[in-house]
Amino acid sequence: MQLKQCWQTAGLALLCAILPVASLAAERPAILLGAAWYPEQWPESRWPEDLKLMEAAHIHVVRVGEFAWSRLEPQEGQFDLDWLDRAVALAAEHGISVVIGTPSAAPPAWLTQKYPDTLRTEQDGRKAQHGNRQQGSPTSARYREFCRRIADQMARRFGHQPNVIGWQIDNEYGAFSWDDDTHRQFQDWLRQKYGTLDALNRHWTTEYWSQTYTDWSQIPMGPGGNPGLDLEFKRFLTASIRDFQHIQVQAIRAASDKRQFITSNFMGWYDAFDHYVLSEELDLASWDDYVGSGHLDAARNGMTHDLTRGFKRKNFWVMETQPGSVNWAPVNNVLDRGEVRAMAWHAIGHGADAVSYWQWRSALNGQEEYHGVLVGADGTPVPLYDEVAQIGREFEQSSEALAGTSPVADVAILHSYDSRWAINGQRHNQDFDPVGLLASYYKPVREMLQQVDVVSADAPLAGYRMVIAPGLNVMPDDMAQRLTEYVNGGGHLVLGPRSAMKDAYNALQPARQPGPLVPLLGGRVEQFYALNEDVPVSGAWGSGKARLWAEQLKAQGADTLLTYGEGNGWLDGQPAVLSRKVGKGRITYVGAWLDNSLMRAATEWMIRLGGLEPALGPVPEGVEVSRRVGAGKEVFVLVNHTKTPQHVTLPRPMRRVLHDNAVTSTVDLPPRGVEVLLLGGRAIVPAAGF
């Protein structure tokens, strides 16, 4: 093979530099199936057989290296990257590209033993110990330098390798250190942001409980109870992890080809840091998609895909996903036959361009021995292997149809880490989960329109016909101005309960809710109530219940759409939902957490008012429709998430991409069945060798 000779000859650097990178990319499908591979755990003589099995399963990408620091740098300053070079070259022989992970989530024992200041300090003051992972402190200057150095060494070796297509920084950020140096960094960060203690004291209202600070060294490291302190601590944590990431990103970019992307694998709705901030310098977002116990919740999981797509507002990768089962859930059940395939196509429909399984083969020891895999510890495939191979064949078959396509939506749901942190810090009702509130809007919109974006509250909004903001608790003035401009420009803004209660410093707005948007709404919140009992609600959307939270509204020019029934006395007969037409636009304020049936009725009203249409048309319950458009094509991914057959009548004839491009007007989906339909463009013929 030309590639093998390239890497094994003395002229390696010269030959690799002139290899036709474009031809390698041409052989790679647009939609990739992958796996996490740990060649360092196995004898090198085993590698060819593993890669042969991957090739047979139509796997086109592996992630390597993210936990291999002790093998890459067995002693301080002594680097051994030759074995990884051989693994990358061997993968190329089998048509498998490589994403390399920087190993900063798993420092070697020699490092933390010789330099104990690189170890994290737990919140209770204990030092993290070797033997797990993420024991390194992301705020330690010494540890950051070690991480930069290993990333630099890896980039110098692999930054121009034709078969290396990307980099993953670290692994599932989440570690933090509570040591004295980090505390000082927090205080310095506050000094730089606020400039003076007077400004900080004013914004945090530190006269409360005699919290006033007269020296920066007096400020505790949050969370400490004061809402201003708590919010800034989360922002500081975000800045710290971003700096930790940035050092490695810089090292890789300085020594690698621009064609190699850089990402980091996030964890869905995990909220220790602001993912939008960390995504800014990444080329694409990716996340690790696990079900755990039970089975796939398509609405919740789809919302997480859409969240991840919204980090960069473009297609993403699923860097890790569940190969049937995990080892960390209360009950580590296996997903049903066909459910892994349905889950993979569910991801592609929502905008994933790669789905990668964790992991390829069972480790002989270690904390995750029982985790699901594609190949057992004995080196032979497990029963799921054949289903994954089917996914790989289908990804290849549909690759040309899906190339250049992305989900497109007329409706956006706004998401804000500041607002989630503010609400979670003071829920007022222990069951008021801001992600659950968002999901209560997302599910009916997604099911009825079959398309929706989840984006930052700072994202451009002009292209959306409707914008839903279920819980923008923190609303700085500039955000309020953008939302006002959106409504004045003809959009429909829907606000949910607890909107605009706080300013940028997590302090209460001096005006009643929704604060700076009161003039636009023509109404305000008179009082809010955490509910221990449901309250009846009725009006233009029908009848139902307000649960968990209710706000007594006052119309000052807005129309009342829902009114509370008999409840706690304060709410009786009072407005629950206000709406006002503003020029060509509209603003609607929903002051209660509505039950599911009433939310569906509300969604129907919003869709009808906006003249919005579903992407495909009506389908049976349990059948998910996703649309990807681009390059003159519309591609629909249909997934039957039920255990019963389903019949779908199409609004117009389409090509069945997975069935020899046959044209059809109806589709019969078996249990857990999948269909990929092409509208527009020419008939897709799979490339040779797929």
Per-position DSSP letters for 38-76, written without gaps between them? -GGGS-GGGHHHHHHHHHHTT--EEEE-TT-HHHH-SBT
Closest by CA to 653, choosing from 635, 666, 639, is 666
Whether residue 253 has pLDDT greater than 60? yes
Q: What is the pLDDT of residue 225?
A: 87
Closest by CA to 77, choosing from 152, 11, 6, is 152
**Integer Cα distance of 33 and 363 in angstroms:** 21
Contact between residue 356 and residue 63 where contact means Cβ atoms under 8 Å apart: yes
In CATH, the number for domain 27-119+143-175+259-406 is: 3.20.20.80
Q: What is the pLDDT of residue 689?
A: 29
User: Per-residue pLDDT tens for 158-189?
Assistant: 999 999 999 999 999 999 999 999 999 999 99
pLDDT band for position 25 (cuts 50, 70, 90): low
Interval 642-652 mean pLDDT = 97
Query: Mean of the per-residue pLDDT values for the chain?
Result: 94
| Topology given in CATH for the domain delimited by 623-679 | Immunoglobulin-like (2.60.40)
Q: What is the pLDDT of residue 17?
A: 41
Contact between residue 575 and residue 554 where contact means Cβ atoms under 8 Å apart: yes
User: In the chain, pLDDT over 70 holds for what percent of residues?
Assistant: 95
pLDDT band for position 3 (cuts 50, 70, 90): very low
Alpha-helical (H) ranges within 566-676 are: 596-610
Q: What is the pLDDT of residue 8?
A: 40
The alpha carbon of 388 is separated from its chain's Cα centroid by a whole number of angstroms, namely 23
Whether residue 398 has pLDDT greater than 80? yes
Answer yes or no: same fold for 27-119+143-175+259-406 and 623-679.
no
**CB neighbour list of residue 305: distance below 8 Å, 6 or more residues apart:** 289, 316, 318, 346, 347, 350, 351, 352
**Integer Cα distance of 407 and 630 in angstroms:** 9
Q: What is the pLDDT of residue 24?
A: 61
User: Per-residue pLDDT tens for 473-501?
Assistant: 999 999 999 999 999 999 999 999 999 99
User: Per-residue pLDDT tens for 417-466?
Assistant: 999 999 999 999 999 999 999 999 999 999 999 999 999 999 999 999 99
Whether residue 4 has pLDDT greater than 50? no
Task: Give the residue, 27 or 570, on which the prediction is more confident.
Answer: 570
Interval 264-273 mean pLDDT = 97
Whether residue 469 has pLDDT greater than 80? yes
Interval 200-225 mean pLDDT = 95
pLDDT band for position 26 (cuts 50, 70, 90): low
Tally of CB atoms within 10 A around 183: 17
**Integer Cα distance of 351 and 305 in angstroms:** 8
Q: What is the pLDDT of residue 5?
A: 37
Interval 334-359 mean pLDDT = 98
Interval 385-412 mean pLDDT = 98
Interval 671-678 mean pLDDT = 98
Q: What is the pLDDT of residue 131?
A: 86
Q: What is the pLDDT of residue 520?
A: 98
Q: What is the DSSP-derived secondary structure letter of residue 42?
A: S
**CB neighbour list of residue 179: distance below 8 Å, 6 or more residues apart:** 120, 121, 137, 139
Interval 560-572 mean pLDDT = 97
Whether residue 625 has pLDDT greater than 80? yes
Whether residue 62 has pLDDT greater than 70? yes
In CATH, the number for domain 411-610 is: 3.40.50.880
User: In the chain, pLDDT over 90 holds for what percent of residues?
Assistant: 92
Q: What is the pLDDT of residue 222?
A: 80
User: Per-residue pLDDT tens for 28-37?
Assistant: 899 999 999 9
Interval 53-62 mean pLDDT = 98
Q: Collapse the DSSP code of 657 into the 3-class scheme (helix H, G, I; strand E, B; otherwise coil) and give the result.
A: coil
Catalytic machinery residues: 172, 320
**Integer Cα distance of 131 and 115 in angstroms:** 16
User: Per-residue pLDDT tens for 570-614?
Assistant: 999 999 999 999 999 999 999 999 999 999 999 999 999 999 999
Whether residue 18 has pLDDT greater than 50? no
Q: What is the pLDDT of residue 22?
A: 54
Q: Collapse the DSSP code of 644 into the 3-class scheme (helix H, G, I; strand E, B; otherwise coil) and give the result.
A: coil
Q: Where are the domains of the chain?
A: 27-119+143-175+259-406, 411-610, 623-679
Helix (H) or strand (E) holding 549: strand 542-555
**CB neighbour list of residue 131: distance below 8 Å, 6 or more residues apart:** none
pLDDT band for position 315 (cuts 50, 70, 90): very high
